[in-house]
Amino acid sequence: MDRKPSRRSYGRTNIRHEKSCKEKCKDFLRQFIAFMFTNVGIIGLVVAYTIAGAFMFIAIEGKEGEFLIEDVIRLRNNTVDELWDVTCCKINVFSEASWRNHVSTQLIEYQRTFVDAVRNGYDPKHTDSWSFSGAFLYSLTVITTIGYGNVAPRTEWGKLATIVYAIVGMPLFLLYLSNIGDILAKSFKWSYTKVCLCKGCPGTESFRRRKRMKQNIKMSKMIKSQKDFSRRRNRKTSWQPNVHDDSRNEKRKKIDDEEDDSDDESSSSNSSSGSSSGGNTSDTNKETEISQSSLSIDDYDPQTVTVPITLCLAIMVGYVCGGALLFARWENWGFLDGSYFCFISLSTIGFGDIVPGDSIIQSQVIQISFILTAVYLMLGMALIAMCFNLMQEEVIHKTRSCIKCCQNVFYCCFGKNKNQSGL
C-alpha cells in the first residue's frame, strides 16, 4: 500500500524549495552586481545615474524656476502698466519734474526686484535651465567636478540633494575613467602596434632584442675567427723543422690540443644534435633562425610597446581643436573661444564664463547643444584618461632605461677601478 507523505516531509520539501529560491535570488544578485562593475556595466551605470540625477533635479528645482520666471514676467507687466498710468492719468503730463520723479521711482523699484530675481537664479538667456537636457548637463558637471556655476540649486532640498549626489557620483565617475581609460589604452596600443609599427621599428622591444642578438652573434663569429687564425698559424709554425726548439714545439702542440678540446666542448654545447666540428656553422644558423622566429612572434606584443608622449599630446590637442571647431560652428563662437571652452571643461577647471546655449535663441537647439556638450565631455575625459595611462607607461619605461644606463655607467667607471685595485 502507498503511504501518504507525512507533514514533516511536506515541510522539508517546502524548506528546500524556499532555500533554492533564495539561492537563486542571491546568485542573480551576485551576477547583476558583477555585471554592473564590468566595463559595459560601469558605462551604463554612469549614464543611468546621470539621467536619474536629471529627473531628480527637475522634480526639485523645476517648479522653483517656473515660479521665479512667472514672478519676473508679472513684475515687468505691472511696471509697464504703472508707467502708462503715470503718463496717462495720474499726473499732469506737462509737469516734467513730477513725471520724472514718478517714473524714476517705478524704474528703480523694478531694477531692484529684477536684480534680486537674478540673484535667486533667474537667467533671461536660459529660461529653461531645468529642462531635461539642462538638468542632465548639470548632473554631469557635478560628478565630473567641472561645475560651470551658471546653473545652481536655489532651494534647500536642491542643495542637500546636490551634496549627496556628488558624494556618490564622483567616485563612480572616477571608476568609469579608470576602467574606460585602461580599455582605450590597451585598444590604442594594439592598433598602434598593428598600424604604426613595423618589425624593425626602434620603438619595439623585439628591435632591441634583435639588436642585442646580432651583436652577440657578431662577437662570437669574431672570437671564433680569431681562434681559427691563431690555430692555423700555430700549426704552420709547428710543421717547420727546428732542432733547437723541440721543447717549444711540444708546448705549442699541447696548447693546440687544449684549444681543440675547448672548441669541441663549445661546439657540443651549442649544437642540439651533437654533430662534429663541420656542423658548427649549421648549428649557429639554426640558433639564429629559432631566435628570429621567436622574435617574430613577439614583434607585435602590445605589452612590450610604449606609445610616444608626443603622439598622446597630439591626440589631446586634436580632440580639443575638433571640439573648438564644432562649438564654434554650433554656438557661433570664435575658434579661440571654442578652444578655451573645451580646455577649461576637459581640465575640470570650469570657470563658467563661456557656456553652451548663450548665443542660441531657439529652445530646441539649446536642448541639442546641452546633450552634445555632455557627450563631448564624457568621451573627452575618457580619452584624456587613456592618454595619461599611455604617457605614464612611457615615462616609467624611460625612467627604467635611464636607471639601467646609470647603473652601467657606474659599473664601468667604478667597477673596473675596484678590480684593478684588487689585482
Query: Would you state the pLDDT for residue 131?
Result: 86
Cα 386 from Cα 180, distance rounded (Å): 8
pLDDT tens digits, 311-341: 999 999 999 999 999 998 888 899 999 999 9
Contact in structure between 387 and 312 (CB atoms under 8 Å): yes
Cα 267 from Cα 261, distance rounded (Å): 10
| Structural domain ending residue among the three candidates 299, 325, 340 | 299
What would the mean pLDDT of 190-207 be, rounded to a whole number? 65
Among 40-54, 56-70, 238-252, 334-348, name the one with the lowest average pLDDT: 238-252
Whether 113 and 152 map to the same domain: the answer is yes
pLDDT of 298 higher than 50: no
Nearest to 189 by CA among 390, 396, 401, 392: 390
What backbone torsions phi and psi does residue 23 show, to the nearest 5 degrees? -65, -40
- Amino acid letter for position 68: L
Cα 339 from Cα 321, distance rounded (Å): 6
Q: How many CB atoms lie within 10 A of CB 386?
A: 25
pLDDT of 295 higher than 60: no
Whether 134 and 252 map to the same domain: the answer is no
Cα 162 from Cα 74, distance rounded (Å): 30
What would the mean pLDDT of 179-198 be, rounded to a whole number? 84
In a domain? residue 357: yes
Query: Would you state the pLDDT for residue 19?
Result: 60
Whether 231 and 88 map to the same domain: the answer is no
Average pLDDT, the chain: 76
In a domain? residue 223: yes
Query: Would you state the pLDDT for residue 113?
Result: 87
Query: Would you state the pLDDT for residue 296?
Result: 46
Whether 325 and 224 map to the same domain: the answer is no
Among 74-78, 223-227, 292-296, 350-354, name the one with the lowest average pLDDT: 292-296
Query: Would you state the pLDDT for residue 72?
Result: 85
Cα 257 from Cα 374, distance rounded (Å): 82
Nearest to 369 by CA among 128, 156, 89: 128
In a domain? residue 27: no
What would the mean pLDDT of 145-159 be, rounded to a whole number? 89
Among 23-32, 197-206, 318-327, name the one with the lowest average pLDDT: 197-206
Nearest to 130 by CA among 71, 48, 57, 67: 57
Whether 326 and 370 map to the same domain: the answer is yes
Domain that holds residue 258: 210-238+246-299
Among 186-195, 211-220, 296-305, 371-380, name the one with the lowest average pLDDT: 296-305
Contact in structure between 377 and 146 (CB atoms under 8 Å): yes
Grid coordinates in use for 73? 514676467
Q: For Cα atoms 115, 116, 120, give the angle at the middle one, nearest 5 degrees.
A: 115
In a domain? residue 168: yes
Q: What percent of the chain has pLDDT over 70?
A: 67
pLDDT tens digits, 381-409: 999 999 999 999 999 989 998 998 888 88
pLDDT tens digits, 228-271: 767 776 665 554 444 444 555 555 555 455 555 544 444 444 44
**68 versus 13: which is more confidently predicted?**
68
Whether 184 and 44 map to the same domain: the answer is yes
In a domain? residue 291: yes
In this prediction, residue 6 has a pLDDT band, given cuts at 50, 70 and 90, of low
Whether 192 and 318 map to the same domain: the answer is no
pLDDT tens digits, 349-362: 998 888 887 765 56
- Amino acid letter for position 377: L
Whether 233 and 282 map to the same domain: the answer is yes
Cα 399 from Cα 410, distance rounded (Å): 16
In a domain? residue 22: no
In a domain? residue 422: no
CATH of the domain at 341: 1.10.287.70
Whether 293 and 318 map to the same domain: the answer is no
What would the mean pLDDT of 158-165 be, rounded to a whole number? 96
What would the mean pLDDT of 148-174 be, rounded to a whole number? 93
Whether 185 and 313 map to the same domain: the answer is no
Cα 296 from Cα 194, distance rounded (Å): 13
pLDDT of 185 higher than 60: yes
Nearby residues of 132 by Cβ (< 8 Å), 6 or more positions away:
54, 55, 58, 367
Whether 43 and 165 map to the same domain: the answer is yes
Q: How many CB atoms lie within 10 A of CB 196?
A: 13
Grid coordinates in use for 35? 555585471
Domain count, the chain: 3
In a domain? residue 365: yes
| Torsion 152-156-159-161 (CA) sign | negative
Whether 224 and 149 map to the same domain: the answer is no
